[in-house]
Amino acid sequence: MKIATYNVNSVNARLPVLLRWLAETRPDVACLQELKAVQEKFPTEAIREAGYHAIWHGQKAWNGVAILARAGEPAETGRGLPGDPDDFHSRYLEGTVGGVGVGCLYLPNGNPAPGPKFDYKLRWMDRFAARAAELVASPDPVVLAGDYNVIPEELDVYDPAGWEADALFRPETCEAYRRLLAQGWTDALRHLNPGERVFTFWDYTAGAWRRNAGLRIDHLLLNPAAAGRLVAAGVDRHVRGWEKTSDHAPTWVELRDV
DNA sequence: ATGTCTCGATCCTCGAGA
């Protein structure tokens, strides 16, 4: 089973790119972030014609997450994270597909830091970690896939010194990510590419793509049951070079016998 | 290189967010 995550940066503005990528790579499951569409503006018909069933959680202008699956509609197991009744952002959706648990997340950016947005990010990470702790010991494979807005380590950013004050790379952010992994999660892309620079995001500005000034911020975390089945992980880097493309590239894992 | 992109409100341009 191939499971992908892709921050599309507006599902409607990016629809041609999304459909082209789905047709080309045929993931079994695709987690999408930054739909930037209200619930009723999700392109249900086009997704269906592309061969995918979907659940999604939209929001006006910002955020929004979806889980697409070829085999059938994901059985939803969660929408939003508990722990903050004032949090109305559409950033977390969870379901099962063919016996595999899939969490799709769009973790808050957190800039500018320090400040209320950074505080929200760290609180959100705590709430997410609480849910992850419930999932990690599942006997079934679980994959937590999404735009984490976390640069895990220096290797994952083209200019570590230039990013040290950024919410994506501040010590509190990196420590929260390490605590999450310490529950027993495997960062699939890093696990299969130790010591290598692998980027998933290149800013639109300053010729970042041309200069390969990238970040690795899109992650797929695997619980032990999933990690035992991991056979491949990669980034569909070429998609970042397409016309009218997202600033993120699709990132994926392949699990054996699922 | 205050650089690019999207959405939404208001108006046909700008601010917010990323």
Is the C-beta atom of A13 closer than 7 angstroms to strand B?
A: yes
pLDDT per residue as tens digits for the range A155-193: 999 999 999 999 999 999 999 999 999 999 999 999 999
d(CA A163, CA A169): 6
Q: Residue ranges of the domains in chain A? A: 2-255
Cα Dmax for chain A: 46
CATH architecture of A2-255: 4-Layer Sandwich (3.60)
pLDDT of A258: 79
pLDDT per residue as tens digits for the range A65-115: 999 999 999 999 999 999 999 999 999 999 999 999 999 999 999 999 999
Catalytic (active-site) positions of A: 106, 147, 248
Residue nearest to nucleotide B1 (CA to C1'): A206
Is the C-beta atom of A40 closer than 7 angstroms to strand B?
A: no
pLDDT of A17: 97
pLDDT of A257: 86
Binding residues of A for Mg(2+): 7, 34, 147, 149, 247-248
Is the C-beta atom of A117 closer than 7 angstroms to strand B?
A: yes
Helices A171-182 and A116-135, interaxial angle, to 10°? Answer: 10
Cα-based distances in Å from A57 to A3, A17, A78, A81: 19, 21, 11, 13
pLDDT per residue as tens digits for the range A35-62: 999 999 999 999 999 999 999 999 999 9
Nearest DNA or RNA nucleotide to A207 (CA to C1'): B3
| Residue A104 near residue A135 (C-beta atoms within 8 A) | no
A227 residue type, one letter: A
Is the C-beta atom of A25 closer than 7 angstroms to strand B?
A: no
